[in-house]
Amino acid sequence: MGLAPDVKAAQAWCEAFVAARPSNVTRLAGLLPARKRPLFYPAYCAMRVIDDEVDEGFLGQGDAGRAASRGAMATRVEAWRSFALDAVAGTYNSGSASGDDDTIFTAMNASLGTGEMGPGPWNGLADAMQRDVEERPLATWGDFLDYTEGAAVAPASVFVYILACDVKRDGSSRLSLNRDCADYARHLAIFSYLVHILRDLKADAERAPQHLTLPDDLLAESGLSKMSLQRAARSSDEAALAPLVGTIAILTERHHEQTIRDLADLNDETGGDAAMLMGLAEVYSQQFDAIRADFGRVLEGGGVVDMATVDRLLTSGSSRS
């Protein structure tokens, strides 16, 4: 039996949405086996839409704007959570949401809704978004790690599921791993998240303090506060930033080492189907090497791994699967 017209249209919309947003992650979609792409497209769309609404639409406002819209944004995140949980359970009814949401969750209901992913990643991401909306401070490194469970590990675990699952002829998916998907995704997610923080430090400093996601204790150990970090990043003051960069680099290296071990285990368990994640890890590893070699250049927008290299590394990883 073929897909209903509304499902086909929804899947095509999600595919176009992903294609219009090239990144390290979206480039992986084209390397997936064709039968797994319908799982990836709506999942990425759903996560990208809510993240953009919170990060750009809400946190991008001034103090008064955020205070006035905080309640509405919190309600929006909970509505998104409800739609996502219904879709991944296969119980979402087309027309329940409006606009792009309905398109995304209709497509998700038809793909991930017939699988075994479960609600964990979607609750995790929604919890992280609510933390952003509440603007709860990240006081300690432990708070930071707790936040990344939803903001980074949850989305990464979705991709691990898609890579590792077995898609049946009817489109349903089944999973057989020794550990939870999040356990394989955790260190890769934190490693890449820290690389992004270092790479985008100046760009984030140009924005409001609420966009900076480094914990207060880590900043204090480096003799910085959010305000002084912003001043130093905006002026490319390498001397002021050096202690913080050094501390983050040590933490990043630890997560990188564990990433390689976890991905090797995952690749063995999946018979090579997860090899492209090793290519993704190499992309971030090269970016990290550039940061450590010349952070001043990175501050000024240089040292970024070009897309041709990204494609080569991802394709190399995929060809091992």
Helix locations, the chain, DSSP H: 5-19, 24-29, 37-52, 63-89, 99-111, 120-134, 141-148, 154-164, 181-199, 201-205, 216-221, 226-234, 238-269, 275-293, 295-299, 307-319
Residue 4's pLDDT is 67
* Three-state secondary structure call for residue 303: coil
Residue 321's pLDDT is 44
The amino acid occupying position 165 is C
What is the chain's Cα-based Rg?
20
**Both structure tokens of 31:** 């390397």
The amino acid occupying position 303 is G
Distance of alpha carbon 268 from alpha carbon 72, whole angstroms: 46
Tens-binned pLDDT, residue by residue, of the chain (321 aa): 356 669 999 999 999 999 999 888 888 888 899 999 999 999 999 999 999 999 999 999 999 999 999 999 999 999 999 999 999 999 999 999 999 999 999 999 999 999 999 999 999 999 999 999 999 999 999 999 999 999 999 999 999 999 999 999 999 999 999 999 999 999 999 999 999 999 888 888 778 777 889 999 999 999 999 899 989 988 889 899 999 999 999 999 999 999 999 999 999 999 888 888 888 899 899 989 988 888 888 887 776 777 777 777 777 755 444
Distance of alpha carbon 185 from alpha carbon 188, whole angstroms: 6
Asked if 267 and 176 touch (Cβ cutoff 8 Å), the reply is no
Asked if 96 and 86 touch (Cβ cutoff 8 Å), the reply is yes
Overall pTM surpassing 0.75 (yes/no): yes
Residue 217's pLDDT is 95
**Both structure tokens of 25:** 């992650």
Residue 317's pLDDT is 58
* Three-state secondary structure call for residue 173: strand
Taking the CA atoms of residue 62, residue 84, residue 184 and residue 254 in that order, the dihedral angle to the nearest 10 degrees is 10
First to last CA, the chain: 31
The amino acid occupying position 54 is V
Distance of alpha carbon 92 from alpha carbon 277, whole angstroms: 30
b/e for 67-102, b at 16 or more Cβ within 10 A? eeeeeebbebbeebbbbbbbbbeeebebebbeeebb
